[in-house]
Amino acid sequence: MSEVPILDAKTSLNKMTSLIVDISGLNSDYIPKLRMQPESILEKLEKYEDEKNNLMKTIESNNEEINIFKNEISQSQRDIVKYEEDNAELTKKRQELLQKIQEKQNELNETHKTIKLKQEELISRDQRLKELDDRLFTLQKDIEKFEEKLKALETELENTFMKKERFVQSYENRVAAMKILINKKYISSSLFQFIKALQFGSTLDLKNILVAIDMREDQAKKIIVK
């Protein structure tokens, strides 16, 4: 209710009260309560006005509080919008991080697979290396045995060569001596043939040799004994 109509009502009541007072002065003996009612109405009206003022103050205070609440609600709504935007941004970043984590997890799994393959290759290579080491050890032993055999064969060949060399030297010396004896006519041609037949490598039978050179067996035996 606005304040202007209340003032108009108050003015009207004052006028009515003044009129009633005038009337009551004329007829106070007949209407004793008529004078009291306007005063009571004015008191109630003043009381109502006081209550109205208090109520207006309360309403004004409440309006201020309502405005404060509205401002707070508006601020809260703005905060909510900002929080929703931040939450959307955080959700987006979270999704991106989850995707990156998944990518890194996939890379880690691939790395684990690669490491496992490399470990298996390393184990296989170690096993192969061990086999090669064992084979090399066996080959070294075989080489040592071969070198020992080769050394023994070399020694044997050297000894055989020395024997052959001594034999050749002895044979050459004997041939030279025989030539000297033949030239000096110390031995006959038949005796030379007999001695030659007795040299190393001859495969003729002794009796056949004696027949071939026309020599008696007893004479040949004497030569052999000498």
Q: How far apart are CA 209 and CA 221, in angstroms?
A: 13
Amino acid present at 26: L
- Residue 157, both tokens: 């060949």
Looking at 84, 109, 140, the residue that finishes a domain is 84
At 143-172, the pLDDT tens digits run 999 888 888 888 888 888 888 777 777 777
Q: Where are the alpha helices (DSSP H) in 184-202?
A: 189-197
Q: How far apart are CA 156 and CA 169, in angstroms?
A: 19
Looking at 54, 84, 114, the residue that finishes a domain is 84
What pLDDT is recorded for position 107? 93
Residue 106 lies in a domain: no
What pLDDT is recorded for position 30? 47
Residue 209 lies in a domain: yes
Residue 140 lies in a domain: no
Residue 11 lies in a domain: yes
Q: How far apart are CA 128 and CA 118, in angstroms?
A: 15
Residue 69 lies in a domain: yes
Comparing C-alpha atoms, which of 49, 44, 38, 46 is closest to residue 13? 38
Q: How far apart are CA 115 and CA 118, in angstroms?
A: 5
Residue 48: phi and psi, rounded to 5, are -60, -40
- Count of structural domains, the chain: 2
Residue 145 lies in a domain: no
What pLDDT is recorded for position 170? 75
Task: Split the chain (226 residues) into runs of 10 and give each run's mean pLDDT.
Answer: 51 62 51 55 76 87 90 91 92 93 94 93 92 91 89 87 78 71 60 60 56 60 62
Residue 38 lies in a domain: yes
- Residue 131, both tokens: 């086999």
What pLDDT is recorded for position 120? 93
What pLDDT is recorded for position 44? 75
Give me the torsion for CA of 66, 67, 69, 70, rounded to 10°.
120
For residue 187, give the DSSP letter.
S
Q: Cβ distance 187 to 215 under 8 Å?
A: no
Q: How far apart are CA 24 and CA 114, in angstroms?
A: 119
Looking at 26, 52, 84, the residue that finishes a domain is 84
Q: How far apart are CA 67 and CA 59, in angstroms?
A: 12
Domain membership of residue 18 as a residue range: 3-84
Residue 132 lies in a domain: no
